[in-house]
Amino acid sequence: MRQTIILILLTGLSALTVNTGAPHTARRPNALFIAVDDLRPDLGCYGHPQALTPNIDRLAARGVRFDRAYCQYPVCNPSRTSLLTGLRPDHTGALDNHTNFRAKLPDVVTLPQLFRQRGYFAASLGKIFHRGLTMEDQRVEMDDRLSWDEARYFKATALGNQGEGRNLTGGRLEWCRWLAAEGDDEDQPDGQIAQAAIKLLEQRGNQPFFLALGFHKPHDPFNAPKKYFDLYPLDKLKLPPDTTDRSLEPPAALPGGAFREAFARFTDQERREFMRAYYAGVSFTDAQVGKVLDALDRLKLADSTIIVFFGDHGYHLGERGWWNKNTLFELSARVPLIVAAPGMKARGKSSARLVELVDIYPTLAELAGLPAPARLDGRSFVPLLNAPHSAWKRAVFTQVQRGKTAGRSVRTERWRYTEWRDERGAVVGAELYDHRADASEWKNLANDARHATVRRKLAALLPKAAAVTGK
């Protein structure tokens, strides 16, 4: 009888974690934090017709899939720094891949650090904070020792660096290469991450854990075991529609230089190879996620573990002639985001409300019942895990810096408005897209007189966003 009562009490407390934050006396949920590098929402669960992602799809069936989730900066380090500190890029000062946020914010408490301070075992496997251009890059300047009890990085084996492949630009762009590698998953860093994660879960002690897995694929260079390339026959891949007429696009909208020149030389064969290599990376990472989910189930941890899964920013696969990130178009700003948490009500549902990666910090803190720092720029979206259609944010924000030109973009449920300003603050370009009629952002309406009022209203949101972020 006594046992029965205790069980009911625990169940009650577990349900409370979603609504009010868990009391510290309750069993605290673990957190599994899965970051995927450069992953756009080309996943089966997002309705993509070609990507094969059965494991991420089954994660979506356990959680809420966010259909309008946006990064704050579509480049690795600024995006990750923002979401891991809970601050927008203007606050972190990290607007490139070389700035460590501790220079400006030595005392900021990062998300894993918060868990660590509250008695969690915090581990990072792979790329969570930004770390050089490849997984083999051993520079440590971006690492953050305060955040982790354990941080590990992985390298491909000699076998994993062999196989069939080539550079798609004749060597002009060093990163733009693929390799259908020999060996198996564990010959690649991402396979080793899954292996290490499972070992860590099996050997965990009584401490609750914050386990962060930073999968590197589908980031370039596009190396993955050959079997994942074989999932995507070249002749079956659909190329993006021709985008040669971009006359309404401001010059700053795409980064220029060597990248564009090299992409302009791509043949259809090379475009298909690029797509195959990207999707091979997506399916490779999907398989690693599956192994970790299986281990959670086997170890009976699934019901006591919060899972957050996301891409650090989006990616263009040839749309607008661009094969990369670092734009303020929907393709680069929008990310996949799936959250599954103990006690949540909306399992297997999707939410079309606007959320941002900067919201992950307060969301995870609330789910674990941890007191969030006073200064966070995001808002916990825990209510959407129970009622995914509730009224929510009116607008979300993404920014980039191109030399002295600053781009800021605001997204509402219907519109995207982007402004480019020079160092004197003068507007040097503007873009307005109506997502109700033009989800691919083909037609820039910024200078269309019929939409002047909409433009003015959206432009007014940008200074407000800047004020929130300290400028």
Least distance to Ca ion from the beta carbon of 326, Å?
10
130 given a catalytic annotation: yes
Q: Report the 3 state secondary structure along 53-66.
A: CHHHHHHHCCCEEE
Least distance to Ca ion from the beta carbon of 35, Å?
9
- Closer residue to Ca ion (CB): 70 or 433: 70
- Helix, strand, coil tally for the chain in percent (to 5): 35, 20, 45
- Closer residue to Ca ion (CB): 37 or 359: 37
- Closer residue to Ca ion (CB): 312 or 366: 312
- Closer residue to Ca ion (CB): 21 or 218: 218
**Other CB atoms closer than 10 Å to residue 264's CB: what's the count?**
8
Catalytic residue among 45, 71, 91, 130: 130
Residue number, nearest CB to Ca ion: 76
Least distance to Ca ion from the beta carbon of 214, Å?
10
Catalytic residue among 76, 91, 219, 313: 76
- Closer residue to Ca ion (CB): 191 or 218: 218
What are the residues binding Ca ion (CB under 5 A)? 37-38, 76, 312
> Where do we find the tokens 């399916």?
283
- Closer residue to Ca ion (CB): 286 or 312: 312
Residue-wise DSSP of 257-322: THHHHHHHT--HHHHHHHHHHHHHHHHHHHHHHHHHHHHHHHTT-GGGEEEEEEESS---SSGGG-
Least distance to Ca ion from the beta carbon of 142, Å?
13
The answer to whether residues 178 and 166 touch, using CB atoms and an 8 Å cutoff, is yes
71 given a catalytic annotation: no
Q: What is the spatial distance between Cα 120 and Cα 31, in angstroms, rounded to a whole number? A: 9
| Upper half-sphere CA count for residue 322 (Cβ side, 13 Å) | 19
Q: Quick one: how far is CA 138 from the chain centroid?
A: 22
Least distance to Ca ion from the beta carbon of 97, Å?
9
Q: Quick one: how far is CA 361 from the chain centroid?
A: 13
Residue 180, SS3? strand
Least distance to Ca ion from the beta carbon of 219, Å?
6
Q: What are the beta bridge partners of residue 64?
A: 339
Catalytic residues: 76, 130
